Amino acid sequence: TGNRRNLLTGHTGKQAQPPGAAVTLAIVLVGKTGSGKSAKGNTILGRKSFREAFSAESVTDHCKKNSGVVDGRKIDVIDTPGLYDTTMSKEEMKNEIEKAIYMSVPGPHAFLLVIRLGRFTEEEQNTVKWIEENFGEESSMYTMVLFTHGDQLKGKSVEEFLSESKELRKLINICGGRYHSLNNERKDNTQVPELLKKIEEMVMKNGGQHYTNEMYQEAQRKINEEKERKRQEEEKRERRQEEEERRRREEQLNGCKWSALAMYSSPLSFAAGAALAAVKGYQCMGTYFKSGSSNSEDQKE
């Protein structure tokens, strides 16, 4: 839109431009525990800003933000707790991820989905789905896959590794084919500038815009609507089951009444009917008392 303020340049106009010195590029790191998010946050900033450790548990239990100037660009990097962290409830995780949106005001230009090469798990396969479910389908337009531990490929290129993994290729395609790899063994200083350039290209493709709080709120609205729909469906299912059970008890009671009537209406069948009643009577009494108990409970409610 021509009159909409360009959130990268700070000016209005149709043409988006790369981030200038006065504009901060906001980057949110997401990924499962152990993917190396915090370490890569430090790599991007060029200093030890985030706590990192080799651990099965997330070393980041709250969103943390650090800023810096890298290759002439002002950047904010927000580190988040590891997805699927067993020490946090889903609600706690949701609250922390929500904080990341507000910490990157006016909104993140990029979600970097951090994945450890050589250890692509089912949880990581579901990570993009998790992001889309919690941030909305539009969030994939702002997402790039960032591979870590590229040094563990043992001489293979990232492209060779991807050619062997259908699921990884599928994940990257969802993210618009965008990915980057940070290799600890590479001695040159071009990896981070190359990453920032790719992020800028993604931002340009998005018209110079960033992910917004409005997008997040819309995603949450859809989540709540889906929860409400499922709740109503469950209530309907329970009511149908109760109605079927009530109808079944009524049919059994009616069957008992007709059995008794048939027995007493024919003297010849009285003896056989009496024997049958001894068995049938217990069943009917059980049905009767169940029905009575259920009705009493319904009246109490």
Distance CA 152, CA 183 (A): 9
Contacts of 273 (CB under 8 A, 6+ apart): 259, 262, 263, 264, 266
Q: Positive or negative, the Cα torsion across 195, 198, 203, 208?
A: positive
For residue 20, what pLDDT is reported? 42
Structure tokens at 235: 């209530």
> Could you state, in chain order, the average pLDDT of each consecutive group of 10 residues for the chain (301 residues)?
37 40 81 83 86 55 88 91 78 83 87 84 78 84 88 77 85 90 76 93 91 85 85 89 86 68 54 53 53 51 51
Contacts of 216 (CB under 8 A, 6+ apart): 98, 101, 135, 136
On the question of a cis peptide bond just before residue 267, with omega within 30 degrees of 0, the verdict is no
The string of DSSP letters for 102-165 reads: HHTTT--SEEEEEEETT---HHHHTHHHHHHHHH-GGGGGGEEEEEE-GGGGTT--HHHHHHT-
pLDDT digits (tens, 9 = 90+) for 120-170: 777 777 777 788 888 888 888 999 999 987 777 777 788 888 888 888 888
For residue 155, what pLDDT is reported? 73
For residue 264, what pLDDT is reported? 54
Burial call 197-225: b when 16+ CB within 10 Å, e when fewer: ebbbebbeebebbbbbeebbeebeeeeee
Q: Positive or negative, the Cα torsion across 61, 84, 137, 221?
A: negative
Residue 129: exposed, middle, or buried by beta-carbon count in 10 A (0-12, 13-18, 19+)? exposed
Q: Could you give the count of Cα atoms lying within 13 Å of 200 in the half-sphere of its Cβ?
A: 18
Contact between residue 37 and residue 149 where contact means Cβ atoms under 8 Å apart? no
For residue 9, what pLDDT is reported? 37
For residue 274, what pLDDT is reported? 53
For residue 195, what pLDDT is reported? 94
**CA distance from start to end of the chain:** 58
24-211 has which CATH code?
A: 3.40.50.300
- Which of 66, 70, 56 is closest to 29 using CA atoms? 66
For residue 272, what pLDDT is reported? 54
For residue 11, what pLDDT is reported? 36
Backbone angles phi, psi at 78, to 5 degrees: -110, 120
For residue 15, what pLDDT is reported? 39
pLDDT digits (tens, 9 = 90+) for 181-211: 887 667 667 889 999 999 999 999 998 889 9
Taking CB atoms within 8 Å and a gap of at least 24, the contacts of 276-283 are: 280/256, 283/252, 283/256
Q: In what order do the strands lie in the sheet with 110-116?
A: 64-70, 73-79, 24-30, 110-116, 143-148, 179-181
Q: Which residues, in sequence order, are bridge partners of residue 30?
A: 113
Q: Which residues, in sequence order, are bridge partners of residue 180?
A: 146
Global pTM exceeds 0.85: no
| β-strand pairing of 73-79 with 143-148 | unpaired
The one-letter amino acid at 296? S
